[in-house]
């Protein structure tokens, strides 16, 4: 069957490069967890990334606006060379293939924790810049309703549809009480510009020079940015759904952020204990959301590869959740009803 959107994208690119006599070829880099597809394009010896973002699902105008707001704050995002908002096409600067995720795994195999530390400190420096320097006036707020609805993905997609759990009325009340508690904990935090998916697969190691300490990462996948809780992106980065670090390293990077956040224009004025509580509870909200999203990607979008990442997200959730007395009834319910079911379901899908 003919891929009409790919053909249309190719024809559009041929028009943009009207002086190029060669036939433009598109090689798929990835389709991510959204409806977007990314293709590498080589024109006259220069690589670009062509984006197919179906307008009925994706908002290119938002992507372009946020890219501009970020670049004005010296955050490195891909330059937009050409755009067709009506059809959902863009041509972007090519940041290469070296994600933080790939680089970190390579460094981990070599036990090169000095360079791993440099990468994380650079990512945290950039995160602090996003929070302190990005003009948030054009961003919407991460409101209570959205925070709560994101956690309902856990109930609807993870528990009901993926696990097939019979969640009775008592359990639903317990779940709702937990979601309300985590929502209130989130909105009570200092609100800053938030990327909303700031982790190892959305940070790029750039080629401008041989890697050296504190070189800034390239930042991608920022189109869902909002003003929201200041710990949100930090927990995405340090309790990453795709790569795990020993608690000692995570604590070191948490401290690095906390010191920076107190000394910059962010002016975070909470005790370290309060900061850790806010960081932890924010992580629990995100982990519930992510479990729901990974289940939805498998069921609705036929992207079963994300199921393999659910056990790590669950581990984070249980390890941190058990620290807080307010969550004890929910953690008990989760252990009794969810944990073993997940193992069985994932094995069935493999």
- Asked if residue 218 and residue 264 are part of one domain, the reply reads yes
Distance between CA atoms of residues 231 and 228, nearest Å? 9
**Tens digit of pLDDT for each residue in 297-341?**
999 989 889 999 999 999 999 999 999 999 999 999 999 999 989
SS3 state of residue 38:
strand
- pLDDT of 2 reads 56
Distance between CA atoms of residues 5 and 265, nearest Å? 45
pLDDT beneath 50, residues of the chain: 1, 209-213
- Asked if residue 169 and residue 105 are part of one domain, the reply reads yes
- Asked if residue 182 and residue 68 are part of one domain, the reply reads no
- pLDDT of 32 reads 58
- pLDDT of 230 reads 97
- Asked if residue 245 and residue 156 are part of one domain, the reply reads yes
> 142: Cβ–Cβ under 8 A, 6 or more apart, which residues?
186, 187, 191, 194, 196, 226, 227, 228, 229, 232
Among 77, 93, 109, which residue terminates a domain?
A: 93
Instruction: Tell me the CA distances in angstroms from 217 to 25, 120, 146, one per residue in order.
Output: 28, 10, 29
- Asked if residue 227 and residue 135 are part of one domain, the reply reads yes
Burial of 259-277, coded b for 16+ CB within 10 Å and e otherwise, reads ebbeeeebebebeeeebbb
**Tens digit of pLDDT for each residue in 148-173?**
999 999 999 999 999 999 999 999 99
- pLDDT of 21 reads 72
- Asked if residue 74 and residue 108 are part of one domain, the reply reads no
- pLDDT of 221 reads 92
- pLDDT of 210 reads 44
- pLDDT of 22 reads 78
% pLDDT > 90, the chain: 79
- Asked if residue 192 and residue 324 are part of one domain, the reply reads yes
Among 61, 93, 125, which residue terminates a domain?
A: 93
- Asked if residue 124 and residue 83 are part of one domain, the reply reads no
CATH number assigned to the domain comprising residue 297: 3.90.1200.10
- Asked if residue 143 and residue 25 are part of one domain, the reply reads no
Helices (H), 134-271: 144-153, 169-187, 232-238, 247-263
- Asked if residue 143 and residue 289 are part of one domain, the reply reads yes
- pLDDT of 213 reads 46
- pLDDT of 107 reads 97
Domains in the chain, number:
2
Domain residues for 78? 4-93
Are the CB atoms for 285 and 183 separated by under 8 Å? yes
Q: How far is CA 327 from the centre of its chain?
A: 25
**Tokens at 107, concatenated:** 């460094």
- Asked if residue 134 and residue 19 are part of one domain, the reply reads no
Least Cα distance to 205 among 134, 116, 73 occurs for 116
CATH number assigned to the domain comprising residue 87: 3.30.200.20
- Asked if residue 201 and residue 120 are part of one domain, the reply reads yes
- pLDDT of 278 reads 98
Among 59, 93, 127, which residue terminates a domain?
A: 93
Distance between CA atoms of residues 316 and 333, nearest Å? 16
């Amino acid at each position: 069957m003919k891929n009409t959107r790919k053909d249309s994208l190719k024809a559009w690119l041929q028009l943009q490069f009207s002086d190029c006599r060669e036939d433009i070829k598109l090689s798929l880099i990835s389709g991510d967890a959204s409806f977007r597809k990314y293709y590498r394009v080589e024109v006259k010896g220069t690589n670009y990334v062509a984006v197919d973002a179906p307008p009925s699902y994706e908002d290119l105008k938002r992507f372009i606006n946020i890219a501009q707001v970020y670049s004005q704050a010296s955050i490195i995002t891909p330059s937009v060379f050409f755009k067709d908002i009506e059809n959902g096409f863009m041509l972007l600067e090519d940041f290469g293939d070296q994600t933080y995720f790939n680089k970190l795994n390579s460094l981990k195999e070599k036990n090169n924790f000095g360079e791993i530390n440099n990468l994380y400190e650079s990512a945290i420096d950039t995160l602090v810049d996003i929070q302190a320097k990005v003009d948030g006036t054009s961003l919407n707020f991460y409101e209570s309703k959205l925070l709560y609805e994101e956690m309902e993905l856990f109930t609807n997609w993870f528990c009901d549809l993926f696990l097939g759990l019979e969640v009775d009325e008592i359990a639903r009340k317990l779940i709702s009480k937990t979601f309300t508690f985590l929502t209130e904990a989130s909105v009570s935090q200092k609100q800053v510009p938030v990327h909303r998916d700031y982790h190892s697969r959305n940070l790029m190691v750039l080629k401008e020079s041989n890697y050296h300490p504190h070189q800034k990462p390239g930042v991608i996948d920022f189109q869902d940015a909002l003003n929201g809780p200041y710990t949100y992106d930090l927990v995405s980065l340090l309790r990453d759904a795709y790569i795990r670090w020993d608690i000692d390293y995570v604590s070191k990077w948490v401290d690095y952020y906390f010191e920076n956040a107190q000394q910059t224009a962010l002016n975070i004025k909470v005790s370290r204990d309060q900061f850790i509580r806010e960081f932890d509870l924010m992580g629990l909200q995100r982990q519930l959301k992510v479990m729901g999203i990974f289940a939805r990607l498998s069921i609705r979008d036929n992207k079963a590869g994300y199921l393999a990442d659910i056990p790590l997200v669950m581990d984070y959730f249980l390890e941190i959740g058990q620290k807080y007395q307010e969550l004890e009834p929910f953690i008990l319910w989760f252990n009794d009803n969810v944990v073993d079911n997940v193992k069985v379901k994932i094995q069935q899908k493999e």
